[in-house]
Structure 1
Amino acid sequence: MGQNLTSEIKHLNETRARTLDASSRGLVTIDASIPPCPNLIELNLSNNKISSIPSILLKDFASLRIVDLSYNSLKTIVPEIAMLQNLMKLSLVCNQMTTIPKEICQCTALIELNLNDNEVSFLPDNIGDLELLRKLYVHKNHLKSLPDSIGNLVSLIELDVGDNDLSELNVNIFGCSDLRYLDASNNTISNISGEAIKGLNRLTCLNFGGNELTELPEEMSQLVNLKEFLLYENKFSYFPRVLTNLWNLEILDLNNNEIKEVPMQIAAMLSLKNLSLAANSIRNIPKELSVMTHLQQLNLQENPLVSALQAVFQYNENWKVIEAVFMVLSYGNASKGAKEFLEELEKLKEQFRKQKETEENL
């Protein structure tokens, strides 16, 4: 296989081509005798069985900007990775890496680093040196904490640390003031520091699902640009009131908590389009829900509801909006699917239409 790559690279040098796709070749090793390729800017070695990258390869391919080593058998990256001063995107998804060398943070041109699905237990302390980094993905690893220098990633817009062993977010994360997307799902976080959150007012998507949260800090109300907030599978016993201050929120998922009631202040969330409250302990629905004219999907499945549909919709005359709502209800153990709901809703609509006609004729 090394010989095949050697001949390909010789051809690339002759033609001055700038990309090499050697993915899915069954490669186990990379021959250190491969000739230099100074023009190469993109190298794809994904989906092979490579267990190590020879240092000489990194020294002789210094022009590389994009490197894809995902789906291999790498356990680490050699320190010579620092030679790739032009490197902008590096993917190491689905390898067997347990450590990330600090030298990777000398690749200061990096804008995207993907370490998803490895066995990394900590990030380099100098990760903050990557001041141009915009996307950092460390999903499904073994992180127990984030380094203090995380707050120096001033260009970061996407951070995924879901499916790790985090019990808290490093308070220094507030320094990532340009962050738009943060996934911290499926960890063991029981508390969110208000100090950590208050500087992240550009966030549009926040995922804390699958944690151990019981409350949210008041500083959460400063996330005025938040569009999607996922809080499923936590330990909330009440609907966090601070959420009602998020007027631009469009998607809210509180499925699988221990919430007993929905506050009437929910009516202030006029931008909400998708509200998921399935698998809680909700018995009654506030009539204020009926004024939420942007609502398109409401999921109340697996709740012990006792209030009738009229309690929700009797004050709402905008039937076009109501017809657009997809709602799954559960009365005790008897589930009602969307079709049955819409049939019942149609009957209610006709009932209220006749009632309104009668009132107008009086």
Structure 2
Amino acid sequence: MMYEQQQQQQQQVRMAMGLSDKGDHRRRCMEEERLEIVDLSAMSLDSLPNPSLNLATICKLDLSNNNLESIPESLTARLLNLLVFDVHSNQLKFLPNSIGCLSKLKILNVSGNLLQTLPKTIENCRSLEELNANFNKLTMLPDTIGFELINLKKLSVNSNKLIFLPQSVTHLTSLRVLDARLNCLGSLPEDLENLINLEVLNVSQNFQYLENLPYSVGLLVSLVELDVSYNKITSLPDSIGCLKKLQKLCVEGNPMVSPPMEVFEQSLHAVKEYLSEKMNAGHKSPQKKKYSWVGKLVKYGTFNGRMMRGGAHREREGFIMSEYRSIDGVASPRYMGMFSPRRLFSPRTFFSR
């Protein structure tokens, strides 16, 4: 009986991979039909067969719910037209570096494995729109993951051991959903305002690690849902009062002081109004002097503001660069906006009390 079950399983695998006892004839037929989907899910596979099938004809490969501990480099290198790759719920400890060859890949599901890292080559999957790496053992993401995945719309890395998100994540301008709950995050990257399409941000249940949110959270112009529940946050940034599209805000499980809990009990509108008033109050200062934006650079020490006149130094609202030095890479897209007035006059300095 056991032998018959094994034979039946092997036959199912061979058929799914485009093989049969008739061999060459079957392969020719499948190639003519342009096989597009291969489903080898839930077959208790410990390893993959080595098919003669043209892997370039596959657009979706489902290897989920098996016992796979590795994926051959040679396999992924030949899946040139793969759009969906699902390997969730296996025993994978690493992904092959050749995954970077999947230039057309749109959806990658590696959740429910034993991954501690993702290969750096994943940034070559420039068509990727959805990455699901939930329920692994990730301690970090590749530092440069955000620089090349310009089409990524959903990044799910919940239930891992991440202690931080790389700064490059702020370059994912197409991102709509960022789910990083149930990790060990101690902080979030600055410059989140670059995520102009982000609609859902979930960093809940980082428990004793996450104590503060960056001011830039309140500059996420498309944000609809923000979940920061079950952390150690005592106050929300005043800038959250500017989130016009925000419809859902979850803060339970935090030792919240500002806004006070009685404000939260009223409504989201009351919370936003409280934070807006607090922010506006912080803007007011007696005998406020008008400065040009160049003058502000001088005021906050960005430039020394000294100009030579008649051999003497005189402080002015302007500057002369006595010596020019090129800054390599400033024109690179990674550094766009580094010297913008908004960056230089961040509310952490200009609007502090």
TM-score strictly above 0.5: yes
How far has the Cα of 1:240 moved from its partner?
A: 2.9
User: 2:57 is paired with a residue of what secondary structure?
Assistant: coil
For the 8 Å contact 1:270–1:293, the answer to whether it is kept is yes
Identity of aligned residues (%): 26
Matching residue of 1:255: 204
How far has the Cα of 1:98 moved from its partner?
A: 1.1
Residue from 160, 163, 169 that aligns with 2:118? 169
Q: 2:171, 2:179 → 1: CA distance?
A: 17
Residue from 2, 8, 21 that aligns with 1:56? 21
Q: Equivalent residues in 2 for 1:302-317 (5 A)?
A: 302-308=253-259
Matching residue of 1:128: 77
Q: Equivalent residues in 2 for 1:339-354 (5 A)?
A: 341-342=266-267
Q: Is it true that 1:219 corresponds to 2:219 in the alignment?
A: no
Matching residue of 2:236: 285
The CA deviation string for residues 69-107 of structure 1, in whole angstroms up to 9 with x for no partner, is xxxxxxxxxxxxxx8983210112222011123437732
For the 8 Å contact 2:141–2:166, the answer to whether it is kept is yes
How far has the Cα of 1:151 moved from its partner?
A: 0.6
User: 2:226 is paired with a residue of what secondary structure?
Assistant: strand
Q: 1:242, 1:214 → 2: CA distance?
A: 18
How far has the Cα of 1:219 moved from its partner?
A: 1.7
Question: Which one-letter code corresponds to 1:298 in the other structure?
Answer: L
Matching residue of 1:95: 43
User: 2:216 is paired with a residue of what secondary structure?
Assistant: helix
Normalising by structure 1, report the TM-score: 0.65
The CA deviation string for residues 280-310 of structure 1, in whole angstroms up to 9 with x for no partner, is 0111122221110010111111111123459
Matching residue of 2:321: none
For the 8 Å contact 1:286–1:311, the answer to whether it is kept is no
Q: 1:171, 1:218 → 2: CA distance?
A: 15
Q: Is it true that 1:203 corresponds to 2:152 in the alignment?
A: yes
For the 8 Å contact 1:86–1:107, the answer to whether it is kept is no
User: 1:211 is paired with a residue of what secondary structure?
Assistant: coil
User: 1:288 is paired with a residue of what secondary structure?
Assistant: helix
How far has the Cα of 1:216 moved from its partner?
A: 1.9
Q: Equivalent residues in 2 for 1:327-346 (5 A)?
A: 341-342=266-267
* TM-aligned CA distance change 1:310 to 1:226, over 3 Å: same
Q: Equivalent residues in 2 for 1:1-362 (5 A)?
A: 50-53=8-11, 55-56=20-21, 61-62=26-27, 86-103=34-51, 106-126=54-74, 127-257=76-206, 258-308=209-259, 341-342=266-267
Q: 2:150, 2:52 → 1: CA distance?
A: 29
Normalising by structure 2, report the TM-score: 0.66
* TM-aligned CA distance change 1:242 to 1:272, over 3 Å: same
Q: 2:216, 2:137 → 1: CA distance?
A: 29
How far has the Cα of 1:311 moved from its partner?
A: 9.9
Runs (5+) with no aligned partner, structure 1: 1-27, 32-49, 66-82, 313-328, 330-339, 353-362
How far has the Cα of 1:189 moved from its partner?
A: 1.1
* TM-aligned CA distance change 1:155 to 1:290, over 3 Å: same
Q: 2:101, 2:260 → 1: CA distance?
A: 51
Question: Which one-letter code corresponds to 1:94 in the other structure?
Answer: A
How far has the Cα of 1:142 moved from its partner?
A: 0.8
For the 8 Å contact 1:220–1:242, the answer to whether it is kept is no
Matching residue of 1:321: none
* TM-aligned CA distance change 1:222 to 1:63, over 3 Å: same
User: 131-140 or 236-245: which moved more?
Assistant: 236-245
Runs (5+) with no aligned partner, structure 2: 15-19, 278-353
Q: 2:268, 2:134 → 1: CA distance?
A: 37
For the 8 Å contact 1:140–1:162, the answer to whether it is kept is yes
Q: 1:112, 1:131 → 2: CA distance?
A: 11
For the 8 Å contact 1:99–1:120, the answer to whether it is kept is yes
Aligned-residue Cα RMSD (Å) equals: 3.1
User: 2:108 is paired with a residue of what secondary structure?
Assistant: strand
* TM-aligned CA distance change 1:343 to 1:134, over 3 Å: closer
For the 8 Å contact 1:169–1:196, the answer to whether it is kept is no
Q: 2:144, 2:165 → 1: CA distance?
A: 12
How far has the Cα of 1:61 moved from its partner?
A: 4.0
